[in-house]
Amino acid sequence: MSKAAILERIKKNKPELVELPDLSVFQHEVPQENLIKDFIEVSTGNMSNVVSIIDSEVPLQTFLKEFIAKNFPLATTFYDLSRSEEHPTEVDFTQTPVDLFIAEAKLGVAENGGLWFDDSILKQRISTFACEHTLMIIDHKTIVPTMHQAYQKIKIAETGYGVFIAGPSKTADIEQSLVVGAQGAVSNTVILI
C-alpha cells in the first residue's frame, strides 16, 4: 500500500471530536482555615511533622534556633537557605554529609501536602535529597487547594528546575514493607508561618 493510500485511509477514519472537559471544578475557592487544616492533615499523613506558628509572637529566627536545638540536637552540618544567618549556605554535598536542610517553600498544596522549591531557592538541586532531615518553612497564605492551581502559579520556564516535596523519602517496593529515608531525607518537618 502506498503512503498516499495510507494517509487517505487515516483521514477517513478519524475519531469523532470530543469536547475538552470542564476544568473549572479545580478553580473553586476554599477558605484559608480549611486549606491549612487540609494541608496539615495530608502532610501528617505523608509522615511530615507539622508545626504551626501562624499566631506566634516569636520571630521566626528565634523560633527556628530554639526548635533546631531541641529537635535536632545531634545536627552539626546545615544547609540553611532560610532567612537565617546561623548556618552556612555553601556546602559541597559530595564531601560533606548534611544533617539538616532548611528552606522556605514558594507555595504549598493542600491536596497532597506538597511544597514547591525551584532554582531560585535551592541553589543546589541535590540539596533536598542529600540530607538526613529537612525543615521546610511555608507561609500559610501561599497554600493553594490543588495541583491545578499550583501549576498556574509556578514559573518553571523562568527557573529551569523545580520540585515538589511532600514528606520524607519513602518507598514500599522493597519486600513489600515501608522504608523511610530510602532515597533522601529520613524526616521532614514543616513550619507553618
Please list the ranges in the chain whose pLDDT falls under 70: 25-28, 83-90, 174
pLDDT in tens, 123-164: 788 788 888 899 999 999 999 999 988 988 888 788 888 889
Q: Is 111 within 8 Å of 145 (Cβ atoms)?
A: yes
How far from 72 is each of 78, 100, 111, 124, 182, CA to CA, in Å?
A: 11, 8, 29, 23, 20
Confidence at residue 36, expressed as pLDDT on a 0 to 100 scale:
92
Distance, CA of 108 to CA of 96 (rounded, Å): 29
User: What are the residue boundaries of the structural domains of the chain, listed by start?
Assistant: 30-192
138, 139, 142, 148: CA torsion to nearest 10: 20
- Enter the C-alpha cell of residue 104: 522556605
Confidence at residue 142, expressed as pLDDT on a 0 to 100 scale:
94
Within the chain, residue ranges assigned H as helices are 3-12, 32-45, 60-71, 119-122, 147-153, 156-159
Confidence at residue 130, expressed as pLDDT on a 0 to 100 scale:
81
Q: Is 170 within 8 Å of 178 (Cβ atoms)?
A: yes
Superfamily of domain 30-192: NagB/RpiA/CoA transferase-like (3.40.50.10420)
Confidence at residue 84, expressed as pLDDT on a 0 to 100 scale:
65
Q: How does strand 48-52 pair with strand 107-109?
A: unpaired
Which class for 92: exposed (0-12), middle (13-18), buried (19 or more C-beta within 10 A)?
A: exposed
Letter for the amino acid at 126?
I
- Local structure of 177: helix, strand or coil: strand
Distance, CA of 11 to CA of 67 (rounded, Å): 66
Distance of CA 174 to the CA centre of its chain: 24
